[in-house]
Amino acid sequence: MLGSKDENKSDIVCYIRDTSPIKKKGTLRYFNCSLQTTSSGVQRAVCFSPERKAAFDTLKKQRSPVKLSKYVTGTKYGTTDIVIQKHTNVVPTEAPDLEALYQQQTTSYATISSLQDVAPNQLITVKAKLLHLSGSKTIIMHDSKPAKKQEGMIVDTTGYMKIVLWAEHTGKLEESNTYIFTNLRLKQSRDLK
């Protein structure tokens, strides 16, 4: 559950950028998503109405701007998240300023230094050089299935970061080459991204 919650009076006009699969924690079912706004950039949201997942996926695929009202904000791990519940209104709307911003951000690559402003678990695209790559390891996952894993370091002109490759993505890259990494999921651990 999220930390403190506050009901918001103002509406949010945004695009739905990314949606996670439905997750379970005890009896609680939810999914995460990223919301692209003009005022605060990309903001993390959590939806506690899993029956809305298909509608969110459709809005994301159609790149349709939406207006959120009757939502709350919650704080956990030092970040403010949008909390979407059954009573939250999610309505398609018009947003010319937001459409231009969305197009600009979907056709460009994130820089490594800009990732501090990205929500955890958001999908990103980065163009970077593979500086170092470890050998492939086989790890037994929590479901007792083996999975291949490879760790490396990527660098661009603004900084560097660790990258972890899983399963079919291991063993395909070579050090010192530059790649466009698409659909990378930004992970956060102990306040480090």
Give the per-residue pLDDT at 150.
Answer: 94
pLDDT band at 104 (very low <50, low <70, confident <90, very high): low
* Domain enclosing residue 140, as ranges: 112-185
pLDDT tens profile 85-100: 999 999 988 876 666 6
Look at residue 193 and tell me if it is in a domain: no
Please tell me whether residues 56 and 139 are part of one structural domain.
Answer: no
pLDDT band at 52 (very low <50, low <70, confident <90, very high): very high
Please tell me whether residues 119 and 101 are part of one structural domain.
Answer: no
Please tell me whether residues 116 and 97 are part of one structural domain.
Answer: no
Q: Count up the domains in the chain and report the number.
A: 2
Please tell me whether residues 100 and 165 are part of one structural domain.
Answer: no
Give the per-residue pLDDT at 1.
Answer: 43
User: What integer best gives the mean pLDDT of the chain?
Assistant: 82
The residue assigned the tokens 């349709």 is 64
pLDDT band at 2 (very low <50, low <70, confident <90, very high): very low
pLDDT band at 3 (very low <50, low <70, confident <90, very high): very low
Which of the two residues, 60 and 55, has the higher pLDDT score?
55
Please tell me whether residues 93 and 165 are part of one structural domain.
Answer: no
Instruction: State the CATH number of the domain containing residue 139.
Output: 2.40.50.140
Give the per-residue pLDDT at 102.
Answer: 60
Please tell me whether residues 117 and 97 are part of one structural domain.
Answer: no
Look at residue 82 and tell me if it is in a domain: yes
Which of the two residues, 190 and 140, has the higher pLDDT score?
140
Please tell me whether residues 17 and 89 are part of one structural domain.
Answer: yes
pLDDT greater than 80 at residue 172 = yes
Look at residue 190 and tell me if it is in a domain: no
pLDDT tens profile 130-167: 999 999 898 888 777 888 999 999 998 788 899 999 88
Please tell me whether residues 174 and 122 are part of one structural domain.
Answer: yes
Please tell me whether residues 16 and 97 are part of one structural domain.
Answer: yes
Please tell me whether residues 122 and 37 are part of one structural domain.
Answer: no
pLDDT greater than 90 at residue 53 = yes
pLDDT tens profile 108-127: 677 888 887 777 777 788 88
Which of the two residues, 54 and 117, has the higher pLDDT score?
54
Q: Are 118 and 186 in contact (CB under 8 A)?
A: yes
Look at residue 192 and tell me if it is in a domain: no
